[in-house]
Structure 1
């Protein structure tokens, strides 16, 4: 028998209470931070808030609508609540949070699965497991990459995984919308009645899973965390001190526990301020042209790019920009809108919009024709990809755009 002693060394990151506090404060929107501080002041008698005088962010005489935020619960809050009840590893939970904070106003994924895989160094199996978690959340279809993906996710949840139906979705969805039943029947070698049955089933699904949920594009009053303005043809970042409340410790702080908790809170708020300032100062360099000329001039930029340059973890960048807005020469925008997986797609979408805007409304352009026009501009896109971009732009199909005489 071998009675040798085997030692196994495990390296674990132990999060202290002040580290957890710092991470939570970093992630909070300005409204949540105010609410959190009000609760902390009631719990800790040594804490005092020093209210900042009204600044250039708001008129001194008239209360600004920017002083108020909608209390409406967002889709992201709803999804995060569901994640909180699931037994997931810290790594998986972090990636799931990252994914749901990169959904658009329809509930679709704004970046590719491949990018997520590379960013977090995931295996194919791990990526699949993570998206199985995302797809299990309500509303069904959340996290889809496109309309076809969204429909197939919902069918899978309903246990309706029919290869023929999936083939119809992948290859003949537009034809189905145009009711070209005979064409589909001939190609799939099935009856028109069966196709109509499939259509009835698809009509029970929701192509926009985020419908009915607040996702950030609905009109609401917001408080910008910073202002970016053009000064002498240069960009200048000014943080809004009104949303970075100053905390002080009262002179009679005799309770050591209360004193330490107050000190940790002050440090967490200072770190939040410094981190956001660093990110914004780098963003005005990376997306310089956007602030002058608009969204068509956004460049490819990922969280990883910013994290690498600032020597911070991707999750830190993700937390720091979550639910935070900035006042810019292009209007008030979410910081996360400055992160673009592919700037080429912006150019292509702009061209598609221009082609359709200038088309003959009595004989509108088909997706095939748009694909040909894009090729002449140096972009080689299949008809299906054009249809996907058109759908993302909210533009109707050729048949639906046609003006009938």
Structure 2
């Protein structure tokens, strides 16, 4: 019989509650963090919230909303729309614009900000804006992205390939008259009979005035709030953390000095304040490095992004890679190149950007009657000293939104 005692030593990392709080606060977006702070203030009397009465940071829109902020076990309307976009063969830039748009829908599925505002914020051309909205209008449920009820109804009609000028005039100018059954006025204005009006009305009733109906949505409209603004001042890049996005919290002195004061509540409040300060410091340090590493991007655009991975930043700051990952999770920046995600500044190999620029140039200048095959494109790239396989060319071509050789010949793109 063996009565020997075997000792097994295990190394375990035990996360304290303070560490968990710090990690959670670091990875929260501003919108999510604001919600977290407000909920904590309700249950913890030691926390006192001070809202900023005036913001010097805000852009042309007061706030932004992102479905990325909505943590739900069930799939929301925004999740469904994003999934559809990710399956489309469109350029990465166009996909980013589309995701921004659906992140700015209200609870009905309508746009929460005007098209011109989106165009200005993202620094888009009219062509790019129209391309993005044409994609949005093709998504299910049809009607999302509309600016108002009239727009919503017409989007659904066009989707059904109904392009009736009289019907559109009826929607644009006489919806209220229809509701009041003022058929004589409509008949006079549009030169149509009552029966024709009733036929149109029957068709309109098949449309949905609220595209989000039947889908899970969040009741409130929370926008993508940029964590910081990056600007060019006298040829120098500077950044400012968006402190106004998060309410300031202090210890409630009245509660602390009262007989009802609870040590645990006070300790929790102090810990949250420390974690918020740490979050601010971490974001500031990351931004300082990004301004140096991706300087050319901020001045000249996405074609000038440099190779950069999380490990590079982590090494410079003496932090773990997972800490950097949490710090940039679901966070956005307002930059001279428009509103972008933190993550978009991290790419493993900038060579792919140069290759995509060349591919776009080759395809745009090709003979439309005899477009290049993927093999030919690979050959052209090899002539520029880029050794690349045909299948990789096909992948990059699809990411740029260009169809196959046969389809390009057919559509004359």
- Give the equivalent residue in structure 1 for 2:61: 65
Deviation for aligned residue 1:311: 0.9
Q: Does structure 2 retain, via aligned residues, the 8 Å contact 1:41–1:47?
A: yes
Give the aligned partner of residue 170 of structure 2: none
Give 3-state SS (helix, strand or coil) of 1:262's partner: helix
Task: Indicate the RMSD between aligned Cα atoms, in angstroms.
Answer: 2.7
Q: CA deviation at 1:3?
A: 4.5
Q: CA deviation at 1:390?
A: 0.6
1:13 equivalent in alignment to 2:13: yes
Tell me how far apart the structure 2 counterparts of residues 328 and 68 of structure 1 sit (CA, whole Å).
Answer: 15
* Cα distance in 1, alignment partners of residues 54 and 398 from structure 2: 44
Partner residue in 1 for 2:337: 330
The reply to whether residue 377 of structure 1 matches residue 373 of structure 2 is no
CA contact (8 A) 1:361 1:403 kept: no
**Mind listing any 5+ residue stretches in structure 1 that lack a counterpart?**
83-102, 109-212, 215-219
Cα separation, partners in 2 of 1:105 and 1:403, compared to 1, 3 Å: closer
**Equivalent position of 1:106 in the other structure:** 86
Residue 9 (structure 1) shift: 2.4
Q: Tell me the equivalent position of 1:39.
A: 39
Aligned partners of 2:56, 2:361: CA distance in 1, in Å?
Answer: 38
Q: Distance in 2 between matches of 1:375 and 1:351?
A: 11
Corresponding residue for residue 316 of structure 2: 309
**Deviation per residue, 1:329-386 (Å, 9 max, x gap):** 1111000100001110111011101111111222211112211111111111122221
Larger Rg: 2
CA distance in 1, matches of 2:411, 2:32: 52
Equivalent residue for 1:399? 406
User: What is the SS of the residue equivalent to 1:285?
Assistant: helix
Partner of 1:231: 233
Cα offset, 1:286, TM superposition: 1.1
Partner-residue secondary structure (3-state), 2:249 = strand
Partner of 2:105: none
SS of 1:402 mapped into structure 2? helix
Question: Does the CA-based 8 Å contact 1:47-1:247 persist in structure 2?
Answer: yes
d(CA) in 2 for partners of 1:238 and 1:49? 22
Specify the SS of the correspondent of 1:65.
coil
Q: CA offset at residue 104 of structure 1? A: 12
Q: Would you identify which runs of 4 or more consecutive aligned residues in structure 1 move more than 6 Å? A: none
1:298 aligns with 2:305: yes
Q: 1:321 maps to which residue?
A: 328
Distance 1:105 1:276 in 2: 30
Query: Deviation at 1:36?
Result: 0.9
Helix, strand or coil: the match of 2:289?
A: helix
Kept after mapping to 2: 8 A contact 1:65/1:221:
no
- 339-348 or 220-229: bigger deviation: 220-229
Q: Aligned equivalents of 2:84 and 2:301: distance in 1?
A: 19
TM-score, scaled to structure 2? 0.60
Structure 2 residue matching 1:106: 3-state secondary structure? helix
Task: Give secondary structure in 1 for the equivalent of 2:48.
Answer: strand
Decide whether aligned partners of structure 1 residues 7 and 361 sit closer, same or farther in structure 2, where only a CA change above 3 A counts: same
Hey, what does 1:366 align to over in structure 2?
373
Q: Which string of whole-angstrom CA distances, capped at 9 and with x for unpartnered residues, describes residues 2-29 of structure 1?
A: 6444433222111111111111111111
Equivalent in the alignment of 1:98: none
Paired with 2:278 and 2:84, the residues of 1 have a C-alpha distance of 29
Residues 21 and 321 of structure 1, relative CA distance in 2, 3 Å threshold: same
